[in-house]
Amino acid sequence: MKKLNDPHNNNNGPSIKEKLIKSYERLKEYAKIKWLDFKKNRQIKKEQKETNLTEPTEIEKSPIETAPLISDNPESPSIGSKIVVFLAAIQIAFITKWTKLRARFSESKTNKQNEDLTPEERKKKMIFQFNVGYGVIKNLFLSFIILVLFGGALFAGVGLGYFAYLVSNEKPPTYEEMQSDISNLEQVSNMYFADSTPIGQLKTDLNRKVVPLHEISKDLQHAIVATEDEYFYKHHGVVPKAVARALIQEFTGSSMQTGGSTLTQQLVKQQLLTSEVSFKRKANEILLAYRLENYFTKDEILEAYLNVSSFGRNSSGQNIAGVEAAAIGIFGIHASELNLAQSAFIAGLPQSPSMYTPYNQFGELRQNLEAGTERKNTVLFRMYREKFITKKEYDEALAYDLVKDFVSPTEDVEDHNYSYVYNAVEKEARRIIMKQMYTADKLTDADIEANDNLYNVYYKRADFEIRQKGYEIHSTINKNVYDAMTETVQEYGDSLGQTYHATVYNEVTGENEEIQEPVQTGSVLMDNQTGKVISFVGGRDFDITQVDHAFDTQRQPGSTIKPLLVYAPALESGLITPATMIADTNFTFTQPNGEVWAPKNYGGTISGKFVSAREALKRSANVPTVQIYNELLKNSNPGDYLKKMGIQSINPSEYGNLSLSLGGTDTGPTVLEQTNAFATLANGGNYTKAYLIDSITDKKGNSIYQHETTSTPVFSPQTAYLTTDMMRSVVNEGTGSSIHNYLNFTADWAGKTGTSQNFRDIWFIASTPQVTLSSWIGYDNQYSSHELSQTDGYGDTSLRNIRYWSKLANAINRVDSTILGTEKSFNRPAGVTYSSVLAATGMKPSTFTAPNGSSITASGAMISELFNTKYLPSATNYHFTLGANSSELYKYWFETYVKTQEEDQKKKKEEEEKAEKEKIEKEKTDKEEAEKEKKQKEKEKETEEKEIEQTEDILEIKSTP
């Protein structure tokens, strides 16, 4: 039989726990009712105040209205009910825990005591226990509140201290400075020649038109205020609660960012501060907003904001800033003529111009305009909520058809007088700013090159900076020299080769077009020591093609690569000297793809002789060049020198191809890269990277970028001089010697010609000690394949380019005779000396034993040649020739050399006999001349004596009386 007061007896009625739960439910329901009554009364009072709203219930039905704080849906508890539930849950948890512990440790004792207690006593005891628990909870809650208040005060103190620290070193701007900043709306960037003559304003797709506030629709003014800053006419620059809310969202990492910037703060961000994202910038923004409000009226601030902010794109695809440009570009009317719906649409754009704008970057009307339309409706509701418009105006504007007001797409065409210069300077400026940006973010060139998305992000940021930040960009281009070179191209361009015409299909327009493909050209004139690009030629005609053939086009270098990739590296390593003999004989090589390659000289010939390195470069012999490169590849990677000289366009995977030594490559360098590499040799072997921009400053004159020249050693001064001196031979005696037929001045030139396979690319590059001038000609072959030809009626391909290069040089020298450095000469550095060697071997005379045991004495005609003192010529040996095989050496020493010696002896004997004969003849002639002279003197003496006798006879007659 169960005990009457047994707590486990289910027949005793509801337990204490059940009673508490029911009490909690009643408490929760009571609190909820009270909270709903409170909110309802508050809403009634608010509606009573809004006497001008005739149908307040319509607002509640608006799809834009936010949800109520208290919901009748039990699935969605309100804040008030959550608080009640939370406190009651704490009480229940405490009492339940207390009961369980008590029952666990003193169950038997409790049962016994319960038998002795009356129901009234048990009730009192339970109330006592509840009061104790409640007291503990209350004290804990009060302690928590005190802790929160103390922590909040501490946090506020630290925050204010940190705020003061952030702005402690900032000098507040004066009224004049702020006035200048907020009124400087255009911020157009300008580009200049080296003498500060303008190239032109940097083209931007930002279209801005500035108008005063009284020429802006009142509806638009109200729409901007209602949408962007509803407290604009009440605050003093900053809304503290909005800033606090934004900070809390920032610190908590909230996904919903409501923002905290007033119109004044937005104006400060756009005109007075940089785009940097940091707490320091935010702190300065707040202070400057207060300062701006102290010095300027609300109308002045609103006017500046309306002329500054971005409003998406117009019907030309341009970015538009300012409400006047937005009104004209979107609706084809002035800002003062906008109706309510149009004003609301424009006012909604600044929040996200790219999302809400009706046009794309091509000026085409978007198919889906829903986002912009919904945003317009939101703006209208906020205007209605802030009492700027009536309910009737609100409804009419909602129903208004905006699409019919959007203007049709229009074209915007802008031209520049110096198009190639303009494009080149713009591109380089963007590259500089882009590099500054990602470097500041601790990214490298490799990071950007490996990630297209990263590249695009920084490209767009840099492009925006250079176009819309009012930069002053100063280039290195000499305007007078550029004009002279351009005139030369226009005057002599037609003599470079045939112009082809064709009809092609334009995929954009869907129509056939007549095009022309003339011979194109690219040239660069740069300073060897500083790397400054003095001038260039980008192409024949910018209207025909906008491709920059000086900086962007990659072409096969032909033989111009020989001194860079082959001869200079071989001299540097000591593999050759200028006098080293190299086999110009049949040579075959099995390529990686299994094909056998047998290089030939120009015209498909092979001399079958041994030639010196100087001679091979002078006449641009292919076979000796390949022989040298083949030997270099056995112990080194000469292609690394190309990278050190700035030639990045050739893939390193091609360095091992022997054909690269003759200029055979899938890509090829640009004209600028080639020019820069030749300038390295002319600069004593030191690479100085070419540069096009000297400085960039912002609109206040602060330096954004200043070029600093740095040089990197690539070759020793001895190697650079020897290579340069060998290229002197090219110009004075070899393939480039015809320049002297066309130049009207003299200079110490060293250069190299080059022709790629099938005459697709023709090069000539030459240097003085001061500058390097290059010239490339060829076809773009964009639509069909064309080649220069020896039989096209324009003469020898290499000769026509040399003639054109010479005319460029004459034009440059005519403009400024100091630019080319005509008075300077390449100076021989220490470590380079002359030495006499055998003309046949390039080494000293000697006697040695051949592999077959024969003794050979190497002797004969001597020549004087330049040598690096590290690699002075040694005695001639059997294997004196680079690239010769055993049979070729045997034939030389036992056939060619013997024959040569016999011919030399015969020639020597003939010369001796001739000299003897000349001596005898001379003696005979001298004797005859002496006898003749003697007779002449005797005759003259006899005549003189007769004259004396006659004179004496006359004197005697005169003296006789």
| Domain parsing of the chain, residue ranges | 134-169, 213-405, 833-923
What is the reported pLDDT for 92?
A: 55
- Here the tokens at position 625 are 């060049």
- The least confident of 76-80, 895-899, 901-905 is 76-80
- Here the tokens at position 932 are 């003749």
Environment class of 917 (CB within 10 Å of its CB; exposed 0-12, middle 13-18, buried 19+): exposed
* Positive or negative torsion for Cα 18, 21, 27, 32: negative
Please answer whether residues 136 and 93 qualify as being in contact, where contact means their C-beta atoms are separated by less than 8 angstroms. no
The radius of gyration computed from the CA coordinates of the chain, to the nearest angstrom, equals 47
Residue type, 869: T
Average of per-residue pLDDT across 478-502: 93
| 9-16, long-range: CB < 8 A, 24+ apart | 16/99, 16/126
Can you tell me the distance from the alpha carbon of 652 to that of 635, in angstroms, rounded to the nearest whole number? 17
Q: Which of 434, 439, 436 is nearest to 457 (CA)?
A: 434
- Here the tokens at position 755 are 């022709």
In 3-state terms the chain splits into helix, strand, coil percentages (rounded to 5) of 50, 15, 35
Q: Is pLDDT at 108 greater than 50 in this prediction?
A: no
What is the reported pLDDT for 57?
A: 37
Please answer whether residues 658 and 622 qualify as being in contact, where contact means their C-beta atoms are separated by less than 8 angstroms. no
Looking at domain 833-923, does it have CATH number 3.40.50.12800?
Answer: yes
Half-sphere CA count of 872, side-chain side, radius 13 A: 9
Which helix (H) or strand (E) covers residue 451, if one does?
none
User: Phi/psi zone of residue 409: left (φ > 0), alpha (ψ -120 to 50 degrees), beta?
Assistant: beta
- Here the tokens at position 210 are 């500035």
Can you tell me the distance from the alpha carbon of 650 to that of 669, in angstroms, rounded to the nearest whole number? 6
Q: Which of 214, 212, 213, 188 is nearest to 201 (CA)?
A: 188
Average of per-residue pLDDT across 419-444: 94
717-718-723-724 Cα dihedral, nearest 10 degrees:
60
- At the second CATH level, the architecture of 213-405 is Orthogonal Bundle (1.10)
Q: Is pLDDT at 759 greater than 60 in this prediction?
A: yes
Q: Tell me, what DSSP letter sits at residue 534?
A: E
What is the reported pLDDT for 8?
A: 39
Can you tell me the distance from the alpha carbon of 847 to that of 855, in angstroms, rounded to the nearest whole number? 7
266-275, 465-474, 863-872: range with highest mean pLDDT: 863-872
- Here the tokens at position 229 are 């800053």
Average of per-residue pLDDT across 73-79: 43
Please answer whether residues 372 and 358 qualify as being in contact, where contact means their C-beta atoms are separated by less than 8 angstroms. yes
Strand partners, 504: 513
Average of per-residue pLDDT across 810-817: 96
Give the three-state DSSP class for 398.
Answer: helix
Give the three-state DSSP class for 496.
Answer: helix
Can you tell me the distance from the alpha carbon of 39 to that of 34, in angstroms, rounded to the nearest whole number? 9
Q: Is pLDDT at 133 greater than 80 in this prediction?
A: no
Q: Is pLDDT at 106 greater than 80 in this prediction?
A: no
What is the reported pLDDT for 560?
A: 97
Can you tell me the distance from the alpha carbon of 491 to that of 540, in angstroms, rounded to the nearest whole number? 10
Give the three-state DSSP class for 468.
Answer: helix
Can you tell me the distance from the alpha carbon of 128 to that of 303, in angstroms, rounded to the nearest whole number? 70
More confident residue, 896 or 204: 896
Common-topology check for domains 213-405 and 833-923: no
What is the reported pLDDT for 53?
A: 39
Q: Is pLDDT at 442 greater than 50 in this prediction?
A: yes
- Here the tokens at position 765 are 């590059």
Please answer whether residues 410 and 365 qualify as being in contact, where contact means their C-beta atoms are separated by less than 8 angstroms. no
User: Phi/psi zone of residue 827: left (φ > 0), alpha (ψ -120 to 50 degrees), beta?
Assistant: beta
- The least confident of 275-289, 642-656, 721-735 is 275-289
Q: Is pLDDT at 498 greater than 70 in this prediction?
A: yes
Q: Which of 445, 353, 448, 338 is nearest to 400 (CA)?
A: 338
Give the three-state DSSP class for 284.
Answer: helix
Average of per-residue pLDDT across 25-40: 65
Judging by DSSP bridges, how do beta strands 190-192 and 472-475 pair with one another? parallel
CA distances from 946 to 533, 938, 940, 941 (A): 85, 12, 10, 9
CA distances from 81 to 18, 26, 138, 145 (A): 21, 12, 19, 20
- As a whole-number percent, the residues of the chain with pLDDT over 90 amount to 52
pLDDT band of residue 896 (cuts 50, 70, 90) is confident
- As a whole-number percent, the residues of the chain with pLDDT over 70 amount to 79
Which helix (H) or strand (E) covers residue 855, if one does?
strand 855-858
What is the reported pLDDT for 101?
A: 52
pLDDT band of residue 321 (cuts 50, 70, 90) is confident
Which helix (H) or strand (E) covers residue 86, if one does?
helix 79-105
pLDDT band of residue 12 (cuts 50, 70, 90) is very low
CA distances from 208 to 201, 676, 877 (A): 15, 42, 80
Average of per-residue pLDDT across 418-423: 92
Can you tell me the distance from the alpha carbon of 878 to that of 863, in angstroms, rounded to the nearest whole number? 20
What is the reported pLDDT for 260?
A: 60
- The least confident of 286-290, 328-332, 517-521 is 286-290
Instruction: Provide CB contacts within 8 A for 696, sequence distance 6+.
Output: 429, 432, 433, 471, 472, 473, 474, 703, 704, 705, 706
Residue type, 318: Q
Average of per-residue pLDDT across 237-242: 80
Q: Phi and psi dihedrals of 865, rounded to 5?
A: -140, 155
More confident residue, 26 or 177: 177
- Here the tokens at position 49 are 């105040």
Q: Is pLDDT at 168 greater than 60 in this prediction?
A: no
